[in-house]
Amino acid sequence: MLVPLEVGIAIRDLSRMRHFYEHVLGFAFVSETVVSPQQAIQAAMHASGYTVVRLQTTYGERIKLLAPNEAPAAETVTGYILDKPNTMYLTFILDDIQAVVDRLIGAGVEFMTGPRSVGVREGVYLAFCRDPEGNVLELVQYTDIAAYRSDLELSTIVARHD
């Protein structure tokens, strides 16, 4: 892994949750991105697309608030991650996502996104799987990790990794 762990939280009310995490808990706003339905379907996230807001603590940990662009029915049962409210997942940011996906497939792990990483926007690739007890794990690779985590001294992190 290249940077501190991130946690994604499936939510319904983006403005209410942003207010809570930013103004009550003191997280700093990092970015907001809207993912198209086509990309969201490939990423096993939601059929209508979704919006992700990244927030950060003063120590560098991040949470991602993920809201489907159209709220699912109360009892929706699908394979999409964001259809179940209160879903949380761990994000591992890697330097070679496909090598890790291949290694996990070799160990018998099935990927919700299929055997290849999915490009959800330019320079961002992800894959979702579950651990042995069913917890969702996200693997991510950024073409330009320094742009994504400009707050970190990445040359030191990358040098330690090599």
Q: What SS3 state is found at 17?
A: helix
CA dihedral 129, 134, 135, 137 (to 10 degrees): -10
1 domain residue, yes or no: no
**Segment 114-143, tens digit of pLDDT:** 999 999 999 999 999 987 657 688 999 999
Q: Please give the residue range of the domain that contains residue 82.
A: 6-161
For residue 99, the domain's CATH number is: 3.10.180.10
Which pLDDT tens digit goes with each residue over 56-102? 988 788 989 999 998 776 666 677 888 777 788 888 888 999 999 99
Q: Which residues contact 148 (CB under 8 A, 6 or more apart)?
A: 142
Say if 39 falls within a structural domain: yes
> What are φ and ψ of residue 14, in 5° steps?
-60, -45
Q: Are 69 and 51 in contact (CB under 8 A)?
A: yes
Lowest-pLDDT range of 22-31, 70-79, 105-114:
70-79
Number of domains in the chain: 1
Residue 134: predicted pLDDT: 72
pTM: 0.65
